[in-house]
Amino acid sequence: MSSLGLNTGLKALLAAQARLETIGHNVSNATTPGYSRQTLEVANSGSIFLHGVLTGTGVEAQVVRRTVDLLVQARLATQTSTVSRLETRVSTLSQAENLFAAGSAGGLGQLFKKFFASLTSLSATPEDKSLAANAVSGASDIASKFNLLSSGAGDLAADAVQRVKNEVGVVNQLAERISRLNAQILATEPGGAPANDLRDQREQALQELAQFTDVRAVEDERGAVRVLVGGQSLVSTVGFQRLEVVTNSPTDVSVRLKGSNVDAAIAGGSIGGLLGVLAEFLPGLRDNADQLAHEFILEMNRVHSTGMPAGGPQSSLVGSNALQDLDGDGQVTDELLAQAGLPFEVKDGELFVNVTHLASGTVSKHGIPIDAARTTVGDLVNALSAVPNLGASIDGQGRLQLQADSGFGFDFSTRLDTTPDAVGSFGGGPATLGTPAAGPFALAIGDTLDFSGPLGPFSVAFQPQQFQSIGQATAAEMAAVLNADGNFQANGLTASDVGGALVVQTSTGGPAQSFTLTGGTAVAALGWTAGSFAQGQNLQVSPVISGAYTGGANGVWTFRPSGDGTIGTTAGLQVDVFDERGARVARLDVGAGYQPGTELVVADGVKVAFGLGNLSATNHDQFRLDVLADSDTSDLLPALGLGGLFVGSDAATIGVRADILESPELLATSKSGAAGDAGNLLRMLQLGEDAVAGLGGQSFTAHYAEVSGGVSLELASAQDAAESESFLQQSLAAQRDQVSGVNVDEELARMIEAQQAYSAAGEYIRVINDLTAELMNIL
């Protein structure tokens, strides 16, 4: 019996020690991440028959079990993945918000305001160099900020890519650890005891994995877990695979299992968050910055290139955008303008260039039609080179460069041609006969015009090869044929195209100069009458244009007298002004009572003054005036980067033109070149408020505010989601701790209580022992 009692006591002691060890283990691991509280299961160790009596044999420690709620653990992993994804998103969006902060001092919104404010200041005194420098500095600040936005967005993407690479490395380590723990658990548990600590470590590894990616873990009946990441098997029950990062571009990556050709659809965890911002958010951010910069460059350069510096026309310009030999034939000149690799679209339209004789101030305006689908680089260079006193070429870098002849300058402004009747077809000195209407003229093959000049009669015949279409003969074509004719030249005649009308004149002026149109088969087609006589005069009306055109659209105005007579003398003499559609724009009284040289208001800010001279409605005196709201309707100048304020085409490349940075007085403040003219500054200022088609009808500041606000809104949304999801995660973690966590205070209190009880019991036992020994002495 004593042996049985001793054995029973031993078992009890073993059970007690196991319990204490379990408590100590719990306390030791109270702060070990992922540790689950363990409890000792104790059971009666059975009974035996001894001396015919069923006798108990004490207690035994059966098994130490983890206290876990598997459902809570699984939900916690999922929630951890969600929270980690959102927190990663919040982190990136916060950086983006700082970058794009609209209202901050260094924010683009404030820089826009500062720039436009500097233009306002400059507009009061456009010749002020310090104010011009201030405005150029503002433009430079905007360009720098755009550069920063671009590089910042790029840095955010590069950082995200690097983080994905780093975290994929951690995921691979965790996969290896989970696989190793799988093997250890499989090796341990067949002995009967659950591998609690190994399972805790594996669970902890899974929870860590959930921080990086979405995780689905399935445990098989033997105790090994299979881990699916992004729908693909990362850890199997017998091994694991590694994830790898596939770099599609420096800022675009995907993740897949090594050796697989299918991307893992990782949506959760920090990797999921990073892949999400890389795929969805950051490209949009960069695109928005690029689009805003692109439109800002285009609109500002449209205005700037068609203005003039306060100092007047320029002698040379080089485009900032290179033309490209896209067909690879070794030459650029055969490329169509619309397909020459320019960063801005070239449209059908017309480009007007003004060439100024610097000494006299005489300006000649030349229009060059642009057909984006037909006009080649070579055509453009030739057309520009055909402008008197202007040369054009392509430099070694593929850029268009313009050079005015010595003593001349050029510009692309909308200023009016102040002396539009260059040929003197409107009351000029030469004998003049013009067609009553502009062409084209329906000539027939072999049609003739017969003249009688100082050397006698002669005839000029027209052949089909001299025209693109002889039935649609233009004034320019006919003038070319006439001017090439020997008799025409010998008789001192010259022909020209005046606003589409054909004008035939004597080479010199004066009453002695005359000629007669005697006939010919082409007379009717030109609206002429056989026998028309033209005689020169000593006087010249020489109309002078002033003012600035304020109309909204480009136009061509033709000035014609209502009858024959003398300016300021003939009663009722009037000059009619027609637009390109034939509609009368104005009727000006220039007869008796008009003081020659007096400015008369035509329309839309345009004024004209006529000198003393004779006008002839019979001989169809006329001159043409181009009135321009936009001197580059083709957008060729911003496409070529010619005469703009900014260079580049997007947020990364935008900058202020180097020569303007160096000499701020080159800022195109004026529309006319006249002193004090700030017309072009006012156009630039208006851009701050204008709706920009390329920005969906928003102004620059409004669009930027929307982009910046969008980032803030996105951030706020992500923060809200992260906060609520984090709350849920904390709740789940609390549930897990409630089930599995170790309360050190409770465990220690239990131990101290036991110690006191054991000590008290021991003390009494000692007393009893002493008393018993004393008693035994007298028995």
Partner 1 sequence: MKPAANPAPNPALGPAPSPASTLVRELENYAVEELELQRRLLTALREQEAALFHGDMAAIREGVQRFDAALRGAPQRAARRGELLRRMAQQFRVSPKSLTLTSICARLGPDGVGLARQATELREATQAVSAATRRLGALARLHVRLNGELLAAVLGGEGAGAMPAGALPAQGRGAAANQAAFRSDHPPLHGLLLDAQA
Nearest distance from residue 722's CB to partner 1, in Å?
26
Q: CB of residue 210 vs partner 1: minimum separation in angstroms?
A: 19
Output 572 or 762, the one with its CB closest to partner 1: 762
Distance CA 229, CA 205 (A): 14
Q: Which is nearer to partner 1, 358 or 754 (CB)?
A: 754
453: its two tokens: 């000049």
Does the bond joining 440 to the residue before it have cis omega, within 30 degrees of 0? yes
| C-alpha of 186 from chain center | 58
Q: Smallest distance from the beta carbon of 763 to partner 1, in angstroms?
A: 9
Nearer residue to partner 1 within complex by CB, 188 or 466? 188
Nearer to partner 1, 193 or 490 (CB): 193
CA separation for the pair 632, 653 (Å, rounded): 24
Specify the 3-state DSSP secondary structure of 8. helix
Q: Which tokens belong to 34? A: 């992922």
CB of 223 to partner 1, least distance (A): 16
Rounded to the nearest 5°, which phi and psi values hold at 275?
-65, -35
CA-based nearest residue to 544, from 614, 603, 598, 619: 598
Beta-bridge mates of residue 53: 50
Task: Using alpha carbons, list the distances in angstroms from residue 148 to 93, 98, 279, 368, 412.
Answer: 16, 12, 21, 39, 33
Q: Is residue 526 within 8 Å of 502, Cβ to Cβ?
A: yes
Q: Taking the alpha carbons of 693, 697, 700, 703 in that order, is the dihedral positive or negative?
A: negative
Nearer to partner 1, 53 or 778 (CB): 778
Supply the minimum distance, in Å, between the C-beta of residue 253 and partner 1.
31
Instruction: Report the residue number, 173 or 247, with the smaller CB distance to partner 1.
Output: 173
C-beta of 68: minimal distance to partner 1 in Å?
A: 13
Considering the complex, state which of residue 185 and residue 394 has its C-beta at the smaller distance from partner 1: 185
Is residue 658 classed exposed, middle or buried when 0-12, 13-18 and 19+ CB atoms within 10 A define those classes?
exposed
User: What is the longest distance spanned by two Cα atoms in the chain?
Assistant: 179
| Cα angle, residue 508 at apex, residues 503 and 509 outer, rounded to 5° | 90
* C-beta of 260 vs 755, nearer to partner 1: 755
Of the candidates 25, 128, 119, which has an alpha carbon nearest to the alpha carbon of residue 67?
Answer: 25
CA distance 58 to 442: 128
Q: Is 308:413 a contact under the CB 8 Å cutoff?
A: yes
DSSP assignments along 163-193, one per residue: HHHHHHHHHHHHHHHHHHHHHHHHHHGGGSS
- Output the smallest distance, CB 229 to partner 1, in A: 24
Q: How many residues does this entry show for the chain?
A: 779
Q: Decide if 450 contacts 515 (C-beta within 8 A).
A: no
- Report the phi/psi class of residue 39: left, alpha or beta, with left for phi > 0 and alpha for psi in -120 to 50: beta
Give me the phi and psi of 211, to 5 degrees please.
-70, -25
Residues that bind partner 1 (CB under 8 A): 2, 5-6, 8-10, 12-17, 19-21, 23-25, 27-32, 35, 42, 58-59, 196-198, 200-201, 748, 750-755, 757-762, 764-769, 771-779
Quick one: 9 or 239, whose CB is closer to partner 1?
9
**Distance separating alpha carbons of residues 747 and 217, to the nearest angstrom:** 32
Partners of 625 in the beta sheet? 557
Nearest distance in Å: CB 19, partner 1: 6
Whole-angstrom Cα distance, residue 370 to residue 372? 6
Q: How far is the CB of 765 from partner 1 (least distance, A)?
A: 5
Paired tokens of 182: 């799988």
Task: Report the nearest approach of partner 1 to the CB of residue 47 (Å).
Answer: 15
In angstroms, give the least distance from the CB of 733 to partner 1. 18
3-state secondary structure of 145: helix
397-421 in b/e burial notation, b at 16+ Cβ within 10 A?
ebbbbbbbeeebbbbbbbbbbbebb
| Cβ(406)–Cβ(391) below 8 Å | no
Considering beta carbons, is residue 2 or 249 the nearer one to partner 1? 2
Q: Which helix (H) or strand (E) holds 444?
A: none
Tell me the three state secondary structure of residue 135.
helix
Of 7 and 316, which CB lies nearer to partner 1 in the complex structure?
7
Closest to partner 1 by CB, 406 or 777: 777
Neighbours of 124 (CB within 10 A): 11
How near is the Cβ of 773 to partner 1 at its closest, in Å?
A: 7
If the CB atoms of residues 2 and 261 are measured against partner 1, the closer one turns out to be 2
Angle (deg, nearest 10), helices 196-212 and 129-188: 160
Nearer to partner 1, 38 or 232 (CB): 38
DSSP 738-760: HHH---HHHHHHHHHHHHHHHHH
- Compute the distance between CA of residue 496 and CA of residue 644 in angstroms, rounded to an integer: 35
Our CB check for partner 1 shows the closer of 43 and 455 to be 43
Closest CB to partner 1 among 155 and 737?
737
Alpha helices in 189-212 (DSSP H): 196-212
Q: What are phi and psi of 356, to 5 degrees?
A: -115, 130
Q: How far is the CB of 255 from partner 1 (least distance, A)?
A: 28
Q: What tokens were used for 450?
A: 């017969």
Residue 44 CB, nearest approach to partner 1 (Å):
11
Kindly state the smallest distance separating residue 196's Cβ from partner 1, in Å. Answer: 8
- What is the token pair recorded at 427? 């009351």
Shortest Cβ 49–partner 1 spacing (Å): 21
Beta carbon of residue 205, minimum distance to partner 1 (angstroms, whole number): 11
CB of 772 to partner 1, least distance (A): 5
Nearer to partner 1, 14 or 267 (CB): 14
Query: Which of these, 260, 225, 266, lies nearest to 244 by C-alpha position?
Result: 260
Which CB sits closer to partner 1, 265 or 744?
Answer: 744
